[in-house]
């Protein structure tokens, strides 16, 4: 009977010290499951982030395409002022926007210090 108590006391000491064989095995199992779940969650996060980025880029491209599709036919006729402070001037490769101050400087024959190209 004393041997059994000694064995239980020894196991209790091992548990407190963290060196009990079953305790170590259970901790390793828990750690491996945690690592597996963490890896799976990380993969899911990367896929979700990629999908969100792709949707954002597609929406941005669609908005740009719609904007230029609605503006470019009007630019072929002549430059138009859409706002009191903004004139859109057609160029071959891009659209350049001039502020009211830049328009006045262009009329006077001088150029501003800012470059929008």
81-90 mean pLDDT: 52
Distance set, CA 6 to CA 14, 17, 24, 35, 41 (Å): 12, 16, 21, 37, 45
The per-residue pLDDT for 117 is 45
- Tokens 């859409």 correspond to what residue? 82
**Spatial distance between the Cα atoms of 88 and 79, rounded to a whole number of angstroms:** 6
Tokens of 39: 């890896």
**Spatial distance between the Cα atoms of 41 and 74, rounded to a whole number of angstroms:** 50
The per-residue pLDDT for 72 is 75
**Spatial distance between the Cα atoms of 110 and 89, rounded to a whole number of angstroms:** 17
108 band by pLDDT with thresholds 50, 70 and 90? confident
In terms of Cα–Cα distance, which of 77, 95, 79 is closest to 87? Answer: 79
Question: What's this model's pTM, rounded to 2 decimal places?
Answer: 0.45
- Among 15-24, 32-41, 86-95, 106-115, where is mean pLDDT lowest? 86-95
The conformation of residue 97, written as its DSSP 8-state character, comes to E
In terms of Cα–Cα distance, which of 69, 70, 72, 101 is closest to 85? Answer: 101
């Amino acid at each position: 009977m004393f041997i059994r108590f000694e064995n239980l006391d020894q196991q209790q000491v091992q548990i407190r010290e963290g060196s009990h064989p079953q305790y170590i095995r259970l901790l390793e199992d828990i750690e491996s499951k945690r690592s597996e779940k963490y890896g799976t969650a990380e993969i899911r996060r990367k896929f979700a982030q990629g999908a969100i980025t792709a949707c954002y880029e597609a929406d941005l491209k669609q908005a740009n395409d719609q904007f230029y599709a609605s503006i470019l036919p009007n630019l072929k006729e002549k430059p138009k002022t859409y706002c009191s402070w903004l004139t859109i001037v057609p160029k071959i490769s891009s659209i350049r926007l001039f502020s009211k101050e830049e328009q006045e400087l262009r009329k006077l024959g001088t150029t501003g210090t800012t470059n929008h190209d």
